[in-house]
Each structure stands twice: as structure tokens, then as C-alpha cells.
Amino acid sequence: MDAAEFRKRGKEMVDYVADYLEKIEKRQVFPDVEPGYLRPLVADCAPQDPESFEDVFKDIEKIIMPGVTHWHSPYFFAYFPSASSFPALLADMLCGGIGCVGFSWAASPACTELETVMLDWLGKMVNLPKEFLAEKDGQGGGVIQGSASEATLIALLAARTKIIRQVQSEKPELTEAEIMGRLVAYASDQFCATLGTTSCCSFDKLLELGPICNKENIWMHIDAAYAGSAFICPEFRHLLNGVEFADSFNFNPHKWLLVNFDCSAMWVKKRSDLIGAFKLEPLYLQHHHQESGLVTDYRHWQIPLGRRFRSLKLWFVLRMYGVKGLQEHIRKHIRLSHQFEHLVLQDERFEICAEVVLGLVCFRLKGSNELNEALLKSINDAKKIHLVPCHLREKFVLRFAVCSRTVESTHIKFAWQHISQLATDLLKTWEHNHHQQ
């Protein structure tokens, strides 16, 4: 395929993607396929000779789409949102076209510098303390990781390296293994200090944890993967109070800030803590600017060596939505979750299981776990909407997460009426069976 054919096919693909997203509501949100559906539909091995774009293109609807869970359907209420927006898609096309690998400043200066500045923009949007910003001569700064798990791992490894070096300088007779065996990581069952847990969007009390960590010289990492995006709204920023005690902080614009996966934003107060743990300097990666102290080489901030030009997505989204546009998006989702909460509260058969703070509603039928498992099964078997459950203090609970960029009040009403009807049907059978037993 040459550039001329790419112009033609690329435009067809733009239309396909636009069609897909415009009409996604008409597709069944969860697929009908059974495990192993795909293998018999494709060849046993790669073709020796090239196939045409048409051959491949027609297989998208035939082979791929029947097995897709439509995360951007307004009937998708499972997990947490995965961000998607047109400006981010455009930026990713540009990112692919440039196709640079930004492991060092010299490998593509724009890739590094835009990232540093965009993380400053984003940090200011959530009103992070100044120590987390890079600005012209700060000690801190931000980096884009692939996921919150990677950010947590990076924080853990940096903390470990820092404390090992400190102990080694005080007690040089100890080996690294001996020190490691004595290190302790304090965590809840959600691991680190978490703002907006996946199960029920609960919040750790940073203002209690923070001072203890600081006093005891414990590295404090805060994971706000989902909730972090909400802190761009002044009325939710108080949930982040206490971040000033942290050493590192992370949230995922690829969840709730309309920046397509992957874009997990991480900040540290002292970039030297990260670089100290991961520094890698083979000759082929060195460049004459690095000794100046003026440049950032992001390979020292992460596990992988290679990295894409992901800050373009942030740049496009932040500019083309503006802070106000993004705030509107967050506020709409939170308004819709409260709409759902109120619908649940009006039905005496149901209960709300956790405070609704952001875009997640945890609810259940009053009754046994088995009853609620059966309700969830009937919801997901009907495939008109899609939800996943969680456990809250031994209780089986249904999670209703407002996810899609295009979800509106009508979808929420439909979802509730549907759930309510399925509950009615279920309770009839359930009571009948129960009566017979």
C-alpha cells in the first residue's frame, strides 16, 4: 500500500469509525459469541501473498464486530469508563504518522517537551501543589505511563531503591537482600492510598494517612485512576486534599477525561527519586544535552524503553474541549449517576450500598447474594445493557457506572426500567421457587 492508496483507504476508515460511533447505540452492547468463536473464522496461518484492503475490510464486520463488547455504547455501564473522543482519535492518527520513539530528549525533542508541558497543564487543572510541576526549573514533574498499575509499580520500585540506598549508607554491612527482607509496604486491600476505588469509588483519608507517612519517612503514592479527572471541577477538588503529603500521584485521563487509552498521568515531587531507580545509559542512548541538566530523558521514568507520542492526545483534547468542556463532561456523568441513584431509591425493593460521590452507583435488591447474582445474570443475559458486580463487605452488589461519552438521561431511564422489570420477573419466579421448596 502506497501513500496514494492510504489516502483513499484512510478516508474510508475515518468514515467507518464515524459510522461505528454514530450508530453504536444500535449494536447489542455485549456480544453473543462463545469462547473460541474466532479461530475457525480465520486461516490457520498468515497468507504467503498479499491480500487486498477490501478483503481485510469486509472481515471487520464479519469476524471482529460479532466479538466486540461495545465500551462506547450508551448502554455500557460496566467497569469504569474508557475514554474516547474525536480530538483524541485525530491526535492518535498524527502520533502514528510521526511514529517517533521518545525514549530520550534527542530521540524526538517535541515528544518529550510537549509531554512535560502537558503534564504541567493537567497538574494545574487539578490544582496539584507546585512541587509536582516541572515548570522551568522545578524538582518534580509529570510523565505519561501506560496504566495505573505501571505507575504504582514505578512508585514502589522508586521507593524501594530510595530506602535501600539510605539504609546502605547508614549500615554498609547489610546486603541489599537483607535490607529488602526487612522492608514493609503498607496497603489496604486496594493497595496504596486510593481515591475512588474500583469496587465502590470510596476514598482513603489522605489527611490522616499523609502526616503519618511523612513523619515515618514512608513513600506515599496516591492512585486516583478513575476519580482524578473529577478534580478538575472545583466542587470535587476537596477530595484530593492531602495530596500535598504524597511523594507521587497518578490518575488516568484515559478513563474519564476523553483521552483515548493509553494515557495514565503520573507526577512525582522529586524526579531524582525515579531517575535514581531506573537510570539507563548505554552509549547509543546518550546525547550531548543530557549532562546539561536541562533535558528530560523519559526512559528513566518508566519500565519500557520505547514510548509513543501520547501527549499529542492530551494537547488536542485539552485545547479542543477546553477546561470548561471537560468539566461539563464530568458534571454530566455525575448528574446522571445521581439520576440513577434517585430511581433506585424510589423503589423499595432496592438499596444503595455506598455513597454516590462521582459516576458510580452501587446497588442491590434487598435480599440474598444469590438473588442479586440471579438479577445480574438476567441483566447481562438480556444484553440490552451491560454491568459488572462487586463485593462490599461480603455482599454481592451491582455496579452501575456511567461510562459513555454520549450517554444521556433517556439511557439512564431505559436502563432503570429494564432492571426494574427484570427484577419483577425474577422476584416472581424466585418467590414461587422459594415457596415450593
Which positions from 386 through 415 interact with its own copies, judged by CB under 8 A? 388-391, 396, 399
Looking at 96, 127, 212, 366, which residue binds its own copies (CB under 8 A)? Answer: 96
CB atoms within 10 A of CB 176: 13
Q: What residues from 231 to 290 belong to the interface with its own copies (CB under 8 A)? A: 254, 260-262, 282-285, 289
Taking CB under 8 A as the binding criterion, the range among 204-212, 238-246, 319-327, 420-428 that sits at the site for its own copies is: 319-327
- What is the C-alpha to C-alpha distance for residues 338 and 392, in angstroms, rounded to an integer? 20
- What is the C-alpha to C-alpha distance for residues 33 and 384, in angstroms, rounded to an integer? 15
Instruction: Give me the least distance between CB of 379 and its own copies, in Å please.
Output: 13
Instruction: Give me the least distance between CB of 210 and its own copies, in Å please.
Output: 26
Does position 194 interact with its own copies (CB under 8 A)? The reply is no
Does position 355 interact with its own copies (CB under 8 A)? The reply is no
Looking at 144, 192, 198, 358, which residue binds its own copies (CB under 8 A)? Answer: 198
Instruction: Give me the least distance between CB of 346 and its own copies, in Å please.
Output: 26
Does position 67 interact with its own copies (CB under 8 A)? The reply is yes
Does position 361 interact with its own copies (CB under 8 A)? The reply is no
With a CB cutoff of 8 Å and minimum separation 6, the contacts of 316 are: 87, 88, 90, 91
Instruction: Give me the least distance between CB of 324 and its own copies, in Å please.
Output: 5
| Residue 37 vs 335, nearer CB to its own copies | 37
Looking at 85, 248, 337, 372, which residue binds its own copies (CB under 8 A)? Answer: 85
Taking CB under 8 A as the binding criterion, the range among 5-13, 332-340, 411-419, 426-434 that sits at the site for its own copies is: 5-13
| Residue 7 vs 435, nearer CB to its own copies | 7
Instruction: Give me the least distance between CB of 231 and its own copies, in Å please.
Output: 14
Instruction: Give me the least distance between CB of 253 and its own copies, in Å please.
Output: 12
Looking at 180, 185, 207, 212, which residue binds its own copies (CB under 8 A)? Answer: 180
- What is the C-alpha to C-alpha distance for residues 207 and 140, in angstroms, rounded to an integer? 21
Grid cell digits, residue 148: 495505573
CB atoms within 10 A of CB 381: 10
x/- map, 103-132, its own copies, by CB under 8 A? --xxxxxxx-xx-xx--xxx-xx-------
Grid cell digits, residue 279: 537510570
Does position 308 interact with its own copies (CB under 8 A)? The reply is yes
Q: What residues from 11 to 50 belong to the interface with its own copies (CB under 8 A)? A: 11, 13-22, 31, 33-39, 42, 45-50
Give the residue carrying C-alpha cell 500535598.
244
- What is the C-alpha to C-alpha distance for residues 241 and 243, in angstroms, rounded to an integer? 6
With a CB cutoff of 8 Å and minimum separation 6, the contacts of 388 are: 78, 79, 399
Instruction: Give me the least distance between CB of 167 and its own copies, in Å please.
Output: 15
| Residue 33 vs 187, nearer CB to its own copies | 33
Instruction: Give me the least distance between CB of 30 and its own copies, in Å please.
Output: 8
Task: Choose among 216, 192, 212: nearest CA to 204.
Answer: 192
Taking CB under 8 A as the binding criterion, the range among 66-74, 329-337, 349-357, 410-418 that sits at the site for its own copies is: 66-74
Does position 169 interact with its own copies (CB under 8 A)? The reply is no
Looking at 101, 218, 382, 427, which residue binds its own copies (CB under 8 A)? Answer: 101
- What is the C-alpha to C-alpha distance for residues 340 and 415, in angstroms, rounded to an integer? 9
| Residue 26 vs 435, nearer CB to its own copies | 26
